[in-house]
Structure 1
Amino acid sequence: MAPSPDPHHEPALSSLQTEALSPLAGVMDRLDTLALCTSFNREEARAASSVAACAPAIAALVDDIVPRLRTGGRLVYVGAGNSGRVAHMDCAELPVTFSVDPTKFVAVVAGGVGAVLEAVEGAEDVLDDGANQMHQLCLTAQDTVVGISASGRTPFVVGALEVAKLRGALTAAVVNTRPSRMEDMGVTHPIAILVGPEFVTGSTRLKSGSCAKQVLNMISTCAMIRLGKTHGGLMVDVSANNEKLHARGRRIVRQVCKEKLHIQTAGRHVRHGSVADEDADIDALIERCGGSVKLACAVGLSGLDLNIAKERMEEAGGRLQTFLDNLEQESLQHTPASDNNNQEQEQEEYFLCVDGGGTKCAVSIATRKGTIARATAGPCNLNSVPLEDVIAQIQSSTAEAVASIPNWHEKSWPRFAKVWTGLAGLHHTSQANTLASRLENLFGVSLQAGTLRLTCDTSLLSSCLGVDELAEGCIALVAGTGAVATAFKRSTACEAVQVGRTGGWGHLVGDEGSAFHIGQQALRTVLASLEENQGATRSLSRLEAAVVRHLDCEPKDVLSTVLGSGRDLPKHRIGAIAKVVTELGFAPVDPDPQALSILHDAASCLARLVSPLSSERICDPGKSILVLSGALMNVKPYRELVLERCSTLGLCFRKTITIEDASAYGAEFLSRTSPMAVVGGQRSLRSMEAAVGEHMSHKCNMELRGIETRLQKQPVA
Structure 2
Amino acid sequence: MSLFLCVDCGGSKTSAVICDANGNILGRGLGGPSNFSYIPLTAFTEAVRVAVSTALDSCVSPSNTPITLPPPNELFAAAWFGIAGVDSPAVAQNASSALSVLLGIPIGPRLIIANDTHLLAAPLRHHPDVSYAITAIAGTGSCVVSFTKKPSGELVELARAGGWGWLLGDEGSGFHVGREAIRQIMFDVSRASLGITLSQTSTLKGKILSHFGIKNEQAAAEILAIVHTPEITIKNSHNTPGYLLVPKEKRLSQLTPLVFDAAFKDNDEFALRILGNVAGGLADQIAQLCIGPGEDMATKPRGVVVNQAILCFGGSLVGIEGYRALVLDELRKRGCVFQCVEFVEDAAAAGAAGLAAMTAT
Q: Does 1:546 align with 2:207?
A: yes
User: Do 2:25 and 2:349's aligned partners in 1 also have CA atoms closer than 8 Å?
Assistant: yes
Corresponding residue for 2:256? 578
CA offsets per residue over residues 51-110 of structure 1, 9 Å max, x none? xxxxxxxxxxxxxxxxxxxxxxxxxxxxxxxxxxxxxxxxxxxxxxxxxxxxxxxxxxxx
Judged with a 3 Å threshold, the aligned counterparts in structure 2 of structure 1 residues 611 and 533 are, in CA distance, closer, same or farther, namely closer
Among the aligned pairs, what percent are the same residue? 29
Give, in angstroms, the shift of residue 431 of structure 1.
Answer: 4.2
Corresponding residue for 2:241? none
Which of 82, 98, 103 does residue 443 from structure 1 map onto?
103
Give, in angstroms, the shift of residue 530 of structure 1.
Answer: 6.3
Which of 94, 119, 128 does residue 469 from structure 1 map onto?
128
- Between the aligned partners of 1:392 and 1:663, the Cα distance in structure 2 is 18
Corresponding residue for 2:12? 359
Which ranges of structure 1 fall in alignment gaps of 5 or more residues? 1-346, 535-539, 676-711, 713-717
Q: Does 1:384 align with 2:38?
A: yes
Q: Does 1:393 align with 2:78?
A: no
SS at match of 1:487: strand
- Between the aligned partners of 2:306 and 2:58, the Cα distance in structure 1 is 41
- Between the aligned partners of 2:247 and 2:175, the Cα distance in structure 1 is 12
Judged with a 3 Å threshold, the aligned counterparts in structure 2 of structure 1 residues 429 and 360 are, in CA distance, closer, same or farther, namely farther
SS at match of 1:355: strand
Give, in angstroms, the shift of residue 578 of structure 1.
Answer: 1.4
- Between the aligned partners of 1:374 and 1:661, the Cα distance in structure 2 is 11
Once the two structures are superposed, the pairs formed by residues 174-323 of structure 1 within 5 Å of their partners are: none
Letter in 2 for 1:496: L
Q: Does 1:421 align with 2:52?
A: no
Corresponding residue for 1:622? 307
Give, in angstroms, the shift of residue 568 of structure 1.
Answer: 3.5
Corresponding residue for 2:198? none
Give, in angstroms, the shift of residue 551 of structure 1.
Answer: 5.0
- Between the aligned partners of 2:69 and 2:130, the Cα distance in structure 1 is 43
Corresponding residue for 2:276? 600
Corresponding residue for 1:97? none
User: Do 2:11 and 2:140's aligned partners in 1 also have CA atoms closer than 8 Å?
Assistant: yes
CA offsets per residue over residues 645-669 of structure 1, 9 Å max, x none? 1122111212111111211221122
Judged with a 3 Å threshold, the aligned counterparts in structure 2 of structure 1 residues 360 and 572 are, in CA distance, closer, same or farther, namely farther
Which of 278, 281, 285 does residue 609 from structure 1 map onto?
285
CA offsets per residue over residues 174-225 of structure 1, 9 Å max, x none? xxxxxxxxxxxxxxxxxxxxxxxxxxxxxxxxxxxxxxxxxxxxxxxxxxxx
- State the TM-score, normalizing by the size of structure 1: 0.42
- Between the aligned partners of 1:650 and 1:432, the Cα distance in structure 2 is 35
Judged with a 3 Å threshold, the aligned counterparts in structure 2 of structure 1 residues 553 and 410 are, in CA distance, closer, same or farther, namely farther
Corresponding residue for 1:85? none
Give, in angstroms, the shift of residue 369 of structure 1.
Answer: 5.2
User: Do 1:481 and 1:572's aligned partners in 2 also have CA atoms closer than 8 Å?
Assistant: no
Corresponding residue for 2:238? none
Which of 25, 28, 32 does residue 371 from structure 1 map onto?
25
Give, in angstroms, the shift of residue 592 of structure 1.
Answer: 0.5
Give, in angstroms, the shift of residue 361 of structure 1.
Answer: 2.0
- Between the aligned partners of 2:91 and 2:319, the Cα distance in structure 1 is 32
- Between the aligned partners of 2:57 and 2:277, the Cα distance in structure 1 is 43
Corresponding residue for 2:345? 660
CA offsets per residue over residues 568-593 of structure 1, 9 Å max, x none? 42212311211211111112xx5101
CA offsets per residue over residues 515-553 of structure 1, 9 Å max, x none? 11111111233355568779xxxxx84112222444566
Corresponding residue for 2:317? 632
CA offsets per residue over residues 622-679 of structure 1, 9 Å max, x none? 111110111111010010111111122111212111111211221122233331xxxx
SS at match of 1:671: helix
Corresponding residue for 1:120? none
Judged with a 3 Å threshold, the aligned counterparts in structure 2 of structure 1 residues 559 and 360 are, in CA distance, closer, same or farther, namely farther
* Superposed CA RMSD: 3.0
Give, in angstroms, the shift of residue 408 of structure 1.
Answer: 6.2
Which of 333, 338, 357 does residue 648 from structure 1 map onto?
333
Judged with a 3 Å threshold, the aligned counterparts in structure 2 of structure 1 residues 609 and 554 are, in CA distance, closer, same or farther, namely same
User: Do 2:177 and 2:259's aligned partners in 1 also have CA atoms closer than 8 Å?
Assistant: yes
Judged with a 3 Å threshold, the aligned counterparts in structure 2 of structure 1 residues 549 and 372 are, in CA distance, closer, same or farther, namely farther
Task: Extract structure 1 runs of 4+ deviating beyond 6 A.
Answer: 408-412, 530-534
Q: Does 1:525 align with 2:184?
A: yes
Give, in angstroms, the shift of residue 560 of structure 1.
Answer: 5.8
- Between the aligned partners of 2:285 and 2:144, the Cα distance in structure 1 is 6
User: Do 1:621 and 1:652's aligned partners in 2 also have CA atoms closer than 8 Å?
Assistant: yes
User: Do 2:204 and 2:262's aligned partners in 1 also have CA atoms closer than 8 Å?
Assistant: yes
User: Do 1:625 and 1:654's aligned partners in 2 also have CA atoms closer than 8 Å?
Assistant: yes
Letter in 2 for 1:582: F
Give, in angstroms, the shift of residue 458 of structure 1.
Answer: 0.8
- Between the aligned partners of 1:559 and 1:373, the Cα distance in structure 2 is 46
Between structures 1 and 2, the one with greater helix share: 1
The higher relative CO (CA closer than 8 Å, separation ≥ 6) is in 2
Corresponding residue for 1:672? 357
User: Do 2:23 and 2:352's aligned partners in 1 also have CA atoms closer than 8 Å?
Assistant: no
User: Do 1:402 and 1:408's aligned partners in 2 also have CA atoms closer than 8 Å?
Assistant: no
Judged with a 3 Å threshold, the aligned counterparts in structure 2 of structure 1 residues 671 and 584 are, in CA distance, closer, same or farther, namely same
Once the two structures are superposed, the pairs formed by residues 474-493 of structure 1 within 5 Å of their partners are: 474-493=133-152
User: Do 1:383 and 1:429's aligned partners in 2 also have CA atoms closer than 8 Å?
Assistant: no
SS at match of 1:464: helix
Q: Does 1:432 align with 2:73?
A: no
Give, in angstroms, the shift of residue 350 of structure 1.
Answer: 2.0
User: Do 1:383 and 1:428's aligned partners in 2 also have CA atoms closer than 8 Å?
Assistant: no
Q: What count of residue pairs does the alignment treat as equivalent?
A: 324
- Between the aligned partners of 1:568 and 1:362, the Cα distance in structure 2 is 23
Judged with a 3 Å threshold, the aligned counterparts in structure 2 of structure 1 residues 567 and 459 are, in CA distance, closer, same or farther, namely farther
